[in-house]
Structure 1
Amino acid sequence: MRLARRSLLLAAPSAALLPSLATSPALAQAPVADPRLGERSAGKAEATPVIEYFSLTCSHCADFHNRTWPQVKSRLVETGKVRMIWRDFPLDQVALAAAAVARALPPERYEGFVSALFASQDRWAFARGADNIAEIAKIAALAGMSRAQVDAALADQALQRGILESRMKAQQEFNVSSTPTFVFNNRPSPGALSFERFAELAGVSAS
């Protein structure tokens, strides 16, 4: 299925993507202990936390994840200096669908799946005439997810609502308006970063 790429309006993100949910009183309520909406992160709990707000259809996010994230992971996360926390900020319906599938995976498969999506973004997100969902499902299959499970995630309005609520919270808490946006010590920094700049803003040694 090829999704219509409707951009998300910053003032009313849920209305732009899910009109039927936007009018529901439940939109203002927090999801009830849904583990799929829990923290997705990498690194030691005591390490310096860095939040990344990203959209899976954002080319700048893909550039960071393809070029810079491997260095951040090996030199800062795996060495115990930084704990990377990922939060969804979908920019359109295709990104929302991909985020829902990612969230439906077991937490230990999340980072690998997201990295695979960014590595193949041109194929599933932007290729002319591409069947977005079929391409996402192919990548999800490599992570052990069946097509039926993919379809279930895409049909789950509570899951999508939770993702959109996270997006609205980012706007309210850190005034996020673009992706990627990184938050270092409660200070947002928009735009893809080099490894050296990332380490500098995190306040950790790059060596």
Structure 2
Amino acid sequence: MIALFLAPLLIGAAPAPRDWSKTVTQTSSGAFVVGNPKAKVKLIEYLSYTCPHCGHFSAQSAGVLKGKYVRSGSTSVELRHAIRDKLDMAATIIARCTGPAGFFAATDAMFASQEDWLVRGMQFDRVNAGRMGLYPENARLRALADGAGLTDIGRARGLSDAALDACFANEADTLKVVVMADAAWTAIRAAAPNDGGTPSFVVNGKPYPHADWAALDKVLQAAGAR
């Protein structure tokens, strides 16, 4: 009798929709992708952590892009590094050090505090450039990250000093980032030969080099983002 009473409830209960913003994969080139691998809309963003426009885009887009379009499964977002300077590379190493599970949250944290660590990092580099010039490249980047406060962001995301040391010493991944960045700048300049910069976007294979969030949102919706 109880089973008969419960049967209609069980039949009518729909499973909760999957949250695709928790799904992160990594491409063979080393880029991280969040969202449904079979999403109808595939967005590529070329970004630089020291780019103020990238920070603005991150803040303006997050609620809808990741909170709605990616979450629903209609859209995936692939972030490709377009390195601009030493601070950018230091920030990139730390963000990537958090791995697929932590990368996108670390990226958001980098942009949320960009105004602070960017100023600190430039000041530190200006004062200590001569001394750091004597260091090996990975040690220079680590010292710059420490001076800027970037390593504090990494620690707040759960990275230990040992993990940070290992990531700054990981020459294979650093080389992968350099190769990715070279390819990114080639693509950016091809899309906007006279004034290409970051952030720059590709939606389903078509470049949108100068789109702000308001303009890109219209493109995504037209492509099927929901």
TM-score, L = length of structure 1: 0.74
Cα 1:144/1:37, change in 2 over 3 Å: farther
| Amino acid across the alignment from 1:194 | W
Matched-pair contact (CA < 8 Å) for 2:27–2:33 = no
Larger gyration radius, structure 1 or structure 2 = 2
Q: Secondary structure at the match of 1:46?
A: coil
Any gaps of 5 or more consecutive residues in structure 1?
1-33
Q: Cα distance, 1:104 vs. partner?
A: 1.9
Match of 2:218 among 188, 200, 205: 200
CA distance in structure 1 between the partners assigned to 2:28 and 2:48 by the alignment: 17
How many pairs does the alignment contain?
Answer: 173
**What is the root-mean-square deviation in Å for CA atoms of aligned residues?**
2.4
CA distance in structure 2 between the partners assigned to 1:55 and 1:38 by the alignment: 15
Q: Secondary structure at the match of 1:179?
A: coil
- The reply to whether residue 133 of structure 1 matches residue 145 of structure 2 is yes
CA distance in structure 2 between the partners assigned to 1:173 and 1:57 by the alignment: 19
Cα 1:167/1:124, change in 2 over 3 Å: same
Larger CA deviation: 85-94 vs 143-152 = 143-152
Identity %: 27
Any gaps of 5 or more consecutive residues in structure 2?
1-25, 125-142
TM-score, L = length of structure 2: 0.68
Larger CA deviation: 70-79 vs 151-160 = 151-160
CA distance in structure 1 between the partners assigned to 2:53 and 2:114 by the alignment: 11
Q: Cα distance, 1:129 vs. partner?
A: 3.1
Cα 1:124/1:133, change in 2 over 3 Å: same
CA distance in structure 1 between the partners assigned to 2:153 and 2:101 by the alignment: 16
CA distance in structure 2 between the partners assigned to 1:49 and 1:169 by the alignment: 18
Cα 1:59/1:69, change in 2 over 3 Å: same
Higher relative contact order (CA 8 A, sep 6+): 1
